[in-house]
Amino acid sequence: MAPQTRRPARNTTPLATRVAKAIATTPVQDIHTHLYDPAFGELLLSGIDDLLVYHYLVAEAFRYLTVPFEAFWRLSKREQAEWIWQELFLERSPVSEACRGVLTTLEALGIDVRRRDLRQIRGWFSAQDPRRHVDRVLDLAGVSTVCMTNSPFDDLERPVWERGFRRHDRFKSALRIDPLLLDWKKSCKTLQAWGYKVSPALTPRTLGEVRRFLGDWSRRLESGFLMVSLPPEFTFPDQTEAARLIEGAVVPHCTETGQPFALMPGVRRGVNPRLRMAGDGVGLSRLEGLRNLCDAFPETRFAVTALARENQHELCVLARKFRNLHLFGCWWFLNTPSLIGEMTQMRTELLGLSYTPQHSDARVLEQLIYKWRHSREVIGRVLVQTYDALESTGWRVSEGELRRDVGALFGGEFARFSTPAPAPAAMRHR
């Protein structure tokens, strides 16, 4: 872009008000959720019982519950929700982030939380028209689009994709491939059953067939990118099947189709399997593997969110070295106000606006409301400090520039990163 001399007029509105306005009015493209297009029916979780049995809350309820784990799992969803409501909301104050999130959500929907009446809350949800409710929630959350996490290995969602359906234009797709990379023994058999000529040994023919599988599913989902979550020990290059499949099939597929590959390192699955989905933990990741991937495959774009707080600084430095690396979100145990604040400040200081501060990871439709409301509050606070420091140099930021910058953070920058590099002719201007 040619250099410009545009000096914004002096704006007398306080900076905090201008930032708050930009944050509140800029729609978010939520790049990682576990929500489903309404065409998936009951797979799109919604309502107070689903909000209460969220696995973040299950883990917290078991801090206090004394019953055997199995006794809880034998209950119906409704009963589990009642136990959690009793334990986390009535027996003590609901101060944790996940608890407060339920209340932020209810309050935003116009439900009076002061009554503490689960029956009345249930009544409110069952009175909603499901179709209109989806768009209303997305609008209330200030979210323009959500990206689903779609796995061909999921027996509940696969048939829906195979049958085909009319897509909701606000639900995008990412192709999730954890089983393919992390349990090749099993997924090899699954792929064989689906007609791919793969063998347990990762021969060139097998890798070619895995690419064919990825191609078929990328087309079917119209996926924007591929995703995998990884254990802390993952490294690259390596003799593990995951590393060899990434090199021989995933990276070539992503390069060929122009899709980024999102890596989510740091999850230790099943630390306490008795907690089922709530039983996963966190570990410090080795990031050399990521550095080697970025270095070896400069044409492939890697989007990364790591689960350990202690990995965040090294990741920022790595992103300064590799433009094919994009950091996103404060994932899972990091999605709490104090850590979002710390990470957003550090990322802004080290990376400017070239990252995506947050994704929601919502599993229940209405969670979009609190996850984005809470994140917007924290990101807003960090941005006020950031622009305040900037303006103390004498530099002025116009309202349009604030909107532009927030738009970049709320999805614009990820979209730019995800778009294949421009043709060389366009580079002449730089």
- Residue 322 interacting entry, from Zn ion, ligand RAT, none, C-beta within 5 to 8 Å by type: none
Least separation, in Å, of the C-beta of 62 and ligand RAT? 16
Contacts of 195 (CB under 8 A, 6+ apart): none
**AA identity, residue 300:** T
Answer yes or no: are the C-beta atoms of 192 and 178 closer than 8 Å: no
Beta bridge partner(s), residue 226: 175, 261
Q: Whose CB is nearest to ligand RAT?
A: 332
Q: CB-wise, 287 or 334, nearer to ligand RAT?
A: 334
Minimal distance, residue 330 CB to ligand RAT, in Å: 11
Interface ranges with Zn ion (CB under 5 A): 361
> β-strands 225-230, 261-265: how paired?
parallel
Between 153 and 332, whose beta carbon lies closer to ligand RAT?
Answer: 332
Closest distance to ligand RAT from the beta carbon of 280 (Å): 6
* Contacting ligand RAT within 175-214 (CB under 6 A): none
Answer whether 176's CB lies under 8 Å from 227's CB: yes
Minimum distance of Zn ion from residue 227's CB (angstroms): 9
User: Measured between alpha carbons, how far is residue 349 from residues 23, 267, 324 in Å?
Assistant: 19, 27, 19
Which of 229, 311, 354, 386 binds ligand RAT (CB under 6 A)? It is 229
Report helix angle 367-391 to 97-108, nearest 10. 100
CB of 428 to Zn ion, least distance (A): 41
**Closest distance of CB 32 from ligand RAT, Å:** 7
Query: Dihedrals φ, ψ of 176, to 5°?
Result: -95, 130
**How many whole angstroms separate alpha carbon 57 and alpha carbon 426?**
50
301 forms part of the interface with ligand RAT (CB under 6 A): no
Q: Identify residues 314-373 at the interface with ligand RAT (CB under 6 A).
A: 332, 361, 363
- Is residue 23 within 8 Å of residue 406, measured between CB atoms? yes
Taking the least distance from each CB to Zn ion, the nearer of 37 and 361 is: 361
Under 8 Å between Cβ of 201 and 175:
no
Q: Which residue is nearest to Zn ion (CB)?
A: 361
Residue 161 touches which member of ligand RAT, Zn ion, none, C-beta under 5-8 Å by kind:
none
| Other CB atoms within 10 A of residue 50 CB | 18
Binding flag, residue 60, ligand RAT (CB under 6 A) = no
Binding site for ligand RAT (CB under 6 A): 34, 229, 332, 361, 363
